[in-house]
Amino acid sequence: MSRVGKKPIPLPKGVKVTIGETLQVEGPKGKLTVPVPAGIEVRQGDGRVEVTRSGDDKAALHGLTRALAANAIHGVANTFTKDLDIVGIGYRAEVKGHVITFSLGYSHQIEFLLPAGIEAKIEKQTHITLSGFDKQLLGQTAADIRALRPPEPYKQKGIRYTGEALRKKVGKTGAGAK
């Protein structure tokens, strides 16, 4: 039995939900569409949205659809944020409009174009705060930025999520046998 799928989703003020083949969620921050698979039914009533399923074979889709709908409703009312840190001597970033320019120790600078709906703020040239109303797009953008220079295991230089736990490897000792 899906425990996630049974929970009703409260509707914040200013959020409008249209139910059909897909679930369309409109709010002050933007507009999102959530697919509703066959066998899953979405109902709206007294300030909340409920997701039900036709049978036990749809249990996984039940929880997934409810989670996607909850993320869409939360996203159009508020915004999601993701924080990244740049670690390394000379590594930095600047934002101009919708383009982030990175200096990551390569022979050239990297320009990263932000997708529509995602905004970036940079503090002290080494801390990036991404925000947006689409949780999936925000996570994918953060992963793409991290992939530009993932943290390496020896000196742990690179781009990482704030609070990310990394395993540090021990380097060579220098007193190896010949």
Q: Mind listing the pLDDT tens digit for each residue in 81-112?
A: 999 988 888 888 889 888 888 888 888 988 88
| pLDDT higher than threshold 80 for residue 175 | no
Long-range pairs for 119-123: beta carbons < 8 A, 24 or more residues apart: 120/95, 121/95, 122/93, 122/94, 122/95
CATH value at residue 99:
3.90.930.12
Based on the domain organization, do 11 and 64 belong to the same domain?
Answer: yes
Residue 112 in any domain: the answer is yes
Based on the domain organization, do 131 and 66 belong to the same domain?
Answer: no
Residue 166 in any domain: the answer is no
| Chain mean pLDDT for the chain | 86
Range of the domain at 125: 80-161
Task: Check residue 140 and give its pLDDT.
Answer: 92
Based on the domain organization, do 111 and 69 belong to the same domain?
Answer: no
Give the whole-number percent of the chain exceeding pLDDT 90: 8
- The whole-model pTM stands at 0.81
Based on the domain organization, do 54 and 84 belong to the same domain?
Answer: no
Strands of the sheet containing 48-53, edge to edge, are 9-10, 48-53, 40-45
Please count the structural domains in the chain: 2
From CA 119, how far away is CA 132, in angstroms rounded?
6
Residue 170 in any domain: the answer is no
Residue 168 in any domain: the answer is no
